[in-house]
């Protein structure tokens, strides 16, 4: 499993930050690590970037790491993202586990061996979680949760406030399902995959299913679809580039 993770360390002690960076690099040098010294700074980073694992100091200069964790849990992308707390206050453990769904703790002062042991386990879990997220689409609709394998989505069509997902299963059988309350823009964010591209104001297609792009007539032909998909002038260049990969 080769998944490149983004880890955010929120710690105001430069010695501890250096130790954490060294341990992460020793475990997996391909991991991208972002650092912050304040909760507010970390919040801004999390809103702009996709973080796969948080390492939070509880005692920070502006407001507590536990408060930051609560803020993150409210955001849909971070509802279940692994969080590790680095703290000297062991009494906070029970509260954090219950209320924040904390993955684990690094109790200060900790050794390099202790950090590597905890981080190795957490990083492996995060890699597994990220792999699953990047290969499935999960949509919450009131009291229902729908999950689709990304490879089964051929294209998505917009009908006002409804989207229709056109699917193909492992037996090459086709079907469609309607989802309400989502825009195409939001759907692209949820898909989070380079295989999907918007080709028209009303369509997102899975480029893996492209069989032909007709620039003259402004259409795209996909595997096992009865009718070609329209290609808008606004999206043509991006589609041709992505479809050629």
For the domain made up of 142-243, the CATH class stated in words is mainly beta
Please give the full DSSP string across 209-239, using - where no structure is assigned: GEEEEETTTTEEEETT-SSPEE--GGGHHHH
Residues in Cβ contact with 47 at an 8 Å cutoff, skipping those fewer than 6 apart: 75
Write down the pTM of the prediction: 0.56
Task: Give the per-residue pLDDT at 245.
Answer: 46
3-class SS string, 46-89: HHHCCCCEEEEECCCCCCCHHHHHHHHHHCHHHCCCCEEEEECC
Q: Are the beta carbons of 39 and 64 closer than 8 angstroms?
A: yes
Annotation: CATH topology of 6-136: Rossmann fold (3.40.50)
Q: pLDDT of the chain along its 245 residues, tens only?
A: 445 789 999 999 999 999 999 999 999 998 999 999 999 999 999 988 889 899 999 889 999 898 999 999 888 778 888 999 988 866 666 566 667 778 888 888 899 999 999 999 888 888 766 655 556 777 877 667 787 888 889 999 999 888 999 998 767 788 999 988 888 888 888 886 667 889 999 999 988 888 888 888 899 999 878 889 999 988 887 776 655 44
Task: Give the per-residue pLDDT at 68.
Answer: 94
Tokens of 45: 């980073």
User: Where in the chain are the domains?
Assistant: 6-136, 142-243
Q: What is the three-class DSSP state of 42?
A: helix
């Amino acid at each position: 499993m080769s998944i490149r993770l983004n880890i955010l360390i929120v710690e105001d002690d430069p010695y501890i930050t250096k130790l954490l960076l060294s341990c992460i690099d020793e475990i997996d040098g391909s991991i991208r690590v972002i650092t912050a010294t304040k909760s507010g700074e970390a919040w801004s980073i999390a809103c702009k970037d996709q973080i796969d694992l948080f390492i939070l100091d509880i005692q920070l200069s502006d407001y507590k790491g536990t408060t930051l964790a609560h803020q993150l849990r409210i955001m849909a992308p971070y509802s279940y993202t692994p969080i590790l707390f680095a703290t000297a206050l062991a009494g906070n453990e029970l509260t954090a586990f219950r209320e924040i769904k904390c993955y684990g703790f690094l109790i200060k002062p900790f050794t390099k061996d202790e950090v590597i042991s905890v981080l190795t386990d957490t990083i492996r879990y995060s890699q597994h979680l990220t792999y699953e997220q990047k290969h499935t689409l999960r949509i919450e609709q009131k009291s229902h949760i729908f999950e689709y394998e990304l490879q089964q989505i051929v294209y998505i069509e917009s009908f006002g406030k409804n989207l229709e997902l056109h699917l193909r299963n492992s037996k090459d059988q086709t079907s469609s399902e309607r989802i309400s309350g989502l825009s195409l823009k939001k759907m692209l964010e949820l898909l989070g995959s380079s295989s999907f591209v918007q080709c028209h104001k009303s369509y997102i297609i899975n480029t893996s299913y492209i069989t032909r792009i007709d620039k003259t007539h402004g259409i795209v032909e996909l595997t096992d679809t009865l009718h070609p998909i329209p290609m808008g002038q606004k999206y043509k260049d991006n589609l041709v580039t992505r479809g050629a990969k």
